[in-house]
Amino acid sequence: MALFVDNLYSQGPIAPICQIHEHLGVWSENRWMGFEAEYIEPVPRSSAFLIDLVDIVNQGAVGTLAAAAAIAGQLIPAVQVNANELFHARMFVLDDIEAQLWQLTNMARFAPRGGQSGVNLWTEQYDPMLATTTFWVLGGEGDKDVRIGCTNISGAVLPQARIGFFGFRYILKKDPQVHANARYIPAQGT
C-alpha cells in the first residue's frame, strides 16, 4: 500500500489535497476510511467564516472577554459539514487571543504530549501561509463537531474574540476500503 502524505502542511498557499476522482484515506475515529473526491470548491476568507466567540457565548448580546479569561470550546456551525463532505481548513485570529481547536468530544488538535498549542496574532508572523493551522473536518463520521475555544492573552478586556477559517470543501463518495493509491490525511488526532 502506497502512503502519500506529502504537502499536507505545505508552507505555501493552501491548495487542494487531491483532484476530482482521486482517492483519500482519512484517519477518523481511530481507523482509516476510504473516499473518492467527487467535487472540490474553495472557501475563501469571508465574513461567513469569521466567528466571534464573545458573541457566541453571549448569544448575540453585548459582552466582553476579561484579561486572561478563557472561553471553553464552543460548537462552530460555520465549519460543520454534511455527511458526505470534508472541510480542509486553515484558521487565523483577528484579536489578541490564543485560539484552541478540539474535534470529537474533547480531542485537542495541535497537541503534542506537552500541551495544546494555540493560534494567535503572532502565528501569521512566523507562518505567513498559516500552514501549521491546517485541519480537516470529516462530516458524518463523528468528528464534524469542531469546537473552538480561546484565551485572552492581551492583558486587557476585549470586546471581541474573532477567529476566521478558509480552505477547501470536498464532496466525497465512500469507498468500501482505502484505495491503493489514496492520499492519506488525518481528520482527527489519536
What is the amino acid identity at position 179?
Answer: H
* First CA to last CA distance, the chain: 21
Question: Is residue 49 classed as helix, strand or coil in its secondary structure?
Answer: helix
Model pLDDT, residue 7 = 62
Concatenating the DSSP letter of every residue in 63-113 gives --B-TT-EEEEEE-GGG---TTEEEEEEEEESSSEEEEEEETTTEESS--T
pLDDT exceeds 60 at position 3: no
> What pLDDT, in 10s, does the model give residues 113-152?
667 778 999 999 999 999 989 988 888 765 567 889 999 9
> What pLDDT, in 10s, does the model give residues 70-121?
998 888 888 888 889 999 999 999 999 999 987 766 666 766 666 777 899 9
Q: Which three cell numbers stand for residue 90?
A: 486553515
Note the CATH number of domain 46-167.
Answer: 2.60.120
Concatenating the DSSP letter of every residue in 114-172 gives T----B-TTHHHHSTT-GGG-EEEETTTT----EEEEEE-SSS-BS--EEEEEEEEEEE
pLDDT exceeds 90 at position 6: no
Model pLDDT, residue 163 = 96
Question: Is residue 48 classed as helix, strand or coil in its secondary structure?
Answer: helix
Phi-psi region of 125 (alpha: psi -120 to 50; beta: other; left: phi over 0): alpha
Indicate the pLDDT class of residue 190, thresholds 50, 70 and 90: very low
The residue with cell 474535534 is 103
